[in-house]
Amino acid sequence: MSTSNGQDFDRGAAAYAAYLESDEGRRRAQTTWGFVSMYLPKAGRALDVGGGGGMLAKSLSQAGLRVVVLDRSAAMLAQAVRVNDGAETPPHFLRGAIEGLPFGTSVFDVVTCHAVLEYVPKQMFGLGHLANTVAPGGLLSLETFRAGVSGDGEPDEVFGIARRGIRCGDVHEVLAGHGLSVFASRHDARRLHVLARARR
């Protein structure tokens, strides 16, 4: 079973791009954006962690936010650059991982992390780092693979890359410990999506 390093995601980039263009991928993106967009500020700084697909960053930019895209995969970042080519205010693209975010604390008005945390070996450690980047009053949008879908948190693979589900209670506990309050959530049999505000 693969580990979640940049080379694994480089190999999976073409398959992921094809998924994003599929009917299922487009429906999921539209549903996710509909849930997030109503809570966005009209201006500010946004961080899209694991945003190599590029579509979410494009939507955030079009909504008036100054966007930074961070992804551990060079191939994914190249894909995001292509998707955002010609944008009026293009995002800034940076290679890196959630476990070592190269930012200070309380930096971003919006932080999005969709379909990423399930690939991180130390999930709660990574989530804590992510939470620390949200500015006071800022928004965190976290979408991830639910524990219990293929066993109780046991790993499976997608695009040849290992992923492991996360328990909703663990997400709430870590966010609360870093000064964020969950105010909206939705889930289905496979995915969990929570929105949280930074209280600090």
Does residue 70 lie within any of the structural domains? yes
| pLDDT (0 to 100) of residue 24 | 81
The pLDDT of residue 159 is: 61
Query: Residue 74 and residue 156: Cα distance in Å, rounded?
Result: 24
State the pTM of this model.
0.88
pLDDT score for 109: 98
Quick check: is 165 in a domain?
no
Instruction: Please check whether residue 170 lies inside any domain of the structure.
Output: no
In the prediction, which pLDDT does 68 show? 97
| Confidence (pLDDT) at 121 | 87
Instruction: Report, as ranges of residue numbers, the positions in the chain whose pLDDT lies below 70.
Output: 1-9, 12-13, 148-160, 200
For 138, the 3-state DSSP assignment is strand
What is the total count of domains within the chain?
A: 1
pLDDT at 1: 27
Task: Give the CATH number for residue 193.
Answer: 3.40.50.150
Rounded to a whole number, what is the largest CA-CA distance in the chain?
45
Residue 102 lies in a domain: yes
Quote the domain boundaries for residue 141. 6-157+176-198
Considering Cα of 52, then 30, then 194, then 103, what sign does the dihedral take?
positive
Q: What is the pLDDT of residue 93?
A: 96
- Is 79 inside a domain boundary? yes
Mapped onto helix, strand or coil, the DSSP state of residue 59 is helix
DSSP H or E run through 169:
helix 168-177
pLDDT of residue 12: 67
* Rg over CA atoms, the chain: 15
DSSP 133: T
Question: Does residue 17 fall inside a structural domain?
Answer: yes
Asked whether residue 152 is assigned to any structural domain, the reply reads: yes
- Residues 44-93 have pLDDT tens digits of 999 999 988 899 999 999 999 999 999 998 998 999 999 999 989 999 99
